[in-house]
Amino acid sequence: MYQIALYFLIVFITLGASSKADTRHFNGVNYTYLSAIYIGIAKIDGVKLIDNEDEIGVFVNDTKGKLILAGACVVGDVVPSEYLVHIYGDAIETHDIKEGAVVGDELIFKIWDKSEQKEIEVPFLSMRYDYYWTLTRPENSSCLEVNGYFVWLFKF
């Protein structure tokens, strides 16, 4: 019950909040007024990531086959032992430039393991959804959907 209340509180706190810690490895997020939030616990070979050191980056493909960093966070920055990442959407007013995710984009998650100094791509099949009544689950978890404000809780 405590965890449900905590996530409910996080939803309201983070709707307009930004991360306290700046990411050092994943840089260059284009902050727009559209965003989705992913919350979860990340592990490498069963070991939780290190708070305030390891990072999560979320990428989408642009129109030219290159990756765009749509969101990034430092693990444990908002909730100890967990990540909370805003995934920013493409701004409507810039028609010729894709600077964020659009509905249907495949989300590519990467982990920066600071202790090993390496970037690890997370296969989406290794992510699983945990249900909490306060959170919204997307129809297609590997793609961005926009239904107002929502939070997706995933563990990988």
Q: What is the model's pLDDT at position 96?
A: 84
Q: What's residue 46's pLDDT?
A: 80
pLDDT at site 42: 84
* pLDDT the model gives residue 149: 36
Q: Which residues of the chain have pLDDT under 70?
A: 1-21, 124-156
Query: How many angstroms separate the Cα of 119 from the Cα of each of 34, 56, 110, 138?
Result: 27, 10, 7, 26
Residue 126: what pLDDT? 58
pLDDT for 130: 57
pLDDT of residue 47: 84
> What local confidence, expressed as pLDDT, does residue 73 receive?
95
List pLDDT tens digits, range 82-93. 888 999 998 888
pLDDT at res. 23 = 81
pLDDT of residue 28: 93
pLDDT digits (tens, 9 = 90+) for 11-39: 544 544 455 567 899 999 999 888 888 88
Predicted pLDDT at 33:
85
- Please give the pLDDT value at position 40: 82
What pTM value is reported for the model? 0.75
The residue extents of the domains of the chain are: 2-155
Cβ-in-10-Å burial (0-12, 13-18, 19+) of 124 comes to middle
